């Protein structure tokens, strides 16, 4: 099997020749791993390491490519951005939210930088997907979000308060966010066709310790919109990968009910996200992606620590299949290349 076939078999709960392994890397880790291996081309690097990469395909907006973590001073939604250096890493932070001072749904038309679905670069996205497929990789794209985009445009504090105090403003804005991305998504899936395997939806609902909003608020404002996206994605024959960090256990059954096929990133150090109980309760209903702890073990542990962590993930989340091991979010700057390679090789050598 090649990587693409191995990923598809796992997603369909069919037998594969081995458990696949994916990696999510920050730019700093990609650079250090490339230097360590002596391979500057990202896809060639994955092939040399035997990674079953699910390649990112994000259409640019007025540009050839788009990385949701890196923008040119302003993102496609008109939110100003700034790069902030923290230790060894550079992160993108958001500036003054353009909807932050608005009080009425009638005012959202005053924001003139709503994205135009026609301006996304579908041709460049198709070229990216074709190159990934030529390397034998599965693909995922585009990047979709309801609440994360709302938080960027409205400001985090306002956004959280709106779920309780300003539902009319929240829903009017979410309708606009939804309509733009639905049009983009439909065209993206039609133009790329068989070159895309999964669609990436990201809406963090958990913090390190608890939930961002109540399940009831999520069900009222976000679940119906997510379910519509899942229906559209499934109508094109694609799978849905949903990303939520943190303590999001109480949302999981409702995510599955909405049509989510793959749950990422399984941040098991957070309350309620214990691997064995997630597998017990939901392992027959959703594929798990991620799981390998990236706050302590990957950056600071020994190779033996990494090996034990990966084996535990394989024995719990991977029991009877339905699991694609990867880090639980991007591997962070300063993580030794040896630890990344140990994670990959432990999965490759795993025998249930």
Q: Tens digit of pLDDT per residue, the chain (352 long)?
A: 999 999 999 999 999 999 999 999 999 999 999 999 999 999 999 999 999 999 999 999 977 666 666 666 889 999 999 888 889 998 889 999 999 999 999 999 999 999 999 999 999 999 999 999 999 999 999 999 999 999 999 999 999 999 999 999 999 999 999 999 999 999 999 999 999 999 999 999 999 999 999 999 999 999 999 999 999 999 999 999 999 999 999 999 999 999 999 999 999 999 999 999 999 999 999 999 999 999 999 999 999 999 999 999 999 999 999 999 999 999 999 999 999 999 999 999 999 8
Q: What residues form DSSP beta bridges with 324? A: 289
- Any idea which residue has 């979410």 for tokens? 174
Distance CA 148, CA 126 (A): 25
Q: Is residue 43 a contact partner of residue 137, using CB atoms and an 8 Å limit?
A: yes
- Give every strand in the sheet of 54-56, ordered side by side: 54-56, 138-144, 198-202, 239-243, 262-264, 287-292, 323-327
Q: Identify the pLDDT of residue 73.
A: 87
Distance CA 24, CA 229 (A): 24
Q: Identify the pLDDT of residue 164.
A: 97
Q: What is the separation, in whole angstroms, between the first and last Cα of the chain?
A: 18
Q: Is residue 58 a contact partner of residue 67, using CB atoms and an 8 Å limit?
A: yes
Residues 6 or more apart whose Cβ sits within 8 Å of residue 197? 4, 7, 8, 11, 54, 138, 139, 140, 238, 239
Does a cis peptide bond (omega within 30 degrees of 0) precede residue 108?
no
Distance CA 253, CA 202 (A): 17
Q: Where are the alpha helices (DSSP H) in the chain?
A: 3-11, 27-37, 42-49, 122-134, 147-154, 156-165, 167-192, 215-221, 223-235, 252-258, 275-282, 297-300, 303-316, 337-348
Total-model pTM: 0.97
Q: Identify the pLDDT of residue 67.
A: 67
Number of domains the chain contains: 1
Q: Identify the pLDDT of residue 264.
A: 98
Q: Is residue 79 a contact partner of residue 92, using CB atoms and an 8 Å limit?
A: no
Query: Residues, the chain, total?
Result: 352
Q: Is residue 149 a contact partner of residue 99, using CB atoms and an 8 Å limit?
A: no
DSSP strand pairing (89-94 vs 81-86): antiparallel
- Any idea which residue has 């700057």 for tokens? 333
Distance CA 270, CA 207 (A): 8
Q: Identify the pLDDT of residue 303.
A: 98
Distance CA 275, CA 279 (A): 6
For residue 13, give its domain range.
3-348
Closest alpha carbon to 222 in 260, 271, 196, 187: 260
CATH code for the domain in which residue 318 is found:
3.20.20.210
Closest alpha carbon to 20 in 36, 4, 33: 4
Structural tokens at position 270: 């957070």
Rounded to 5°, angle at Cα 3 from 194 and 26: 95
């Amino acid at each position: 099997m090649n990587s693409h076939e191995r990923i598809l078999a796992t997603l369909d709960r069919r037998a594969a020749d081995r458990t696949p392994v994916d990696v999510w890397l920050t730019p700093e880790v990609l650079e250090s791993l490339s230097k360590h291996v002596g391979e500057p081309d990202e896809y060639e690097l994955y092939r040399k390491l035997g990674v079953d990469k699910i390649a990112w395909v994000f259409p640019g907006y007025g540009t050839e490519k788009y990385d949701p973590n890196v923008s040119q001073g302003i993102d496609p939604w008109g939110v100003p951005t700034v790069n902030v250096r923290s230790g060894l890493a550079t992160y993108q932070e958001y500036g003054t939210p353009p909807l932050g001072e608005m009080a009425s749904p009638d005012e959202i038309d005053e924001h003139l930088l709503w994205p135009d679905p026609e301006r996304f670069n579908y041709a460049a996205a198709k070229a990216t997907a074709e190159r990934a497929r030529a390397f034998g990789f599965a693909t995922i794209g585009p990047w979709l979000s309801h609440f994360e985009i709302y938080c960027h445009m409205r400001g985090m504090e306002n956004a959280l308060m709106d779920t309780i105090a300003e539902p009319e403003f929240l829903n009017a804005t979410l309708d606009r966010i939804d309509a733009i991305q639905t049009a983009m998504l439909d065209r993206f899936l039609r133009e790329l066709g068989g070159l895309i395997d999964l669609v990436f939806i990201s809406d963090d609902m958990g913090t390190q310790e608890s939930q961002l909003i109540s399940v009831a608020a999520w069900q009222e404002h976000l679940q119906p919109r997510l379910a519509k996206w899942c229906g559209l994605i499934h109508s094109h024959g694609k799978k849905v990968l949903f990303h939520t960090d943190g303590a999001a256990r109480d949302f999981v059954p409702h995510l599955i009910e909405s049509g989510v096929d793959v749950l990422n990133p399984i941040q098991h150090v957070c309350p309620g996200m214990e691997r064995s109980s997630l597998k017990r309760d939901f392992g027959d209903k959703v594929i798990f992606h991620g799981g390998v702890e990236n706050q302590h073990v990957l950056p600071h542990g020994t190779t033996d620590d990494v090996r034990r962590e990966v084996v535990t993930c394989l024995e719990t989340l991977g029991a009877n299949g339905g699991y694609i091991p990867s880090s639980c979010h991007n591997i962070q700057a300063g993580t030794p290349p040896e630890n990344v390679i140990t994670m990959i090789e432990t999965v490759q050598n795993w025998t249930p």
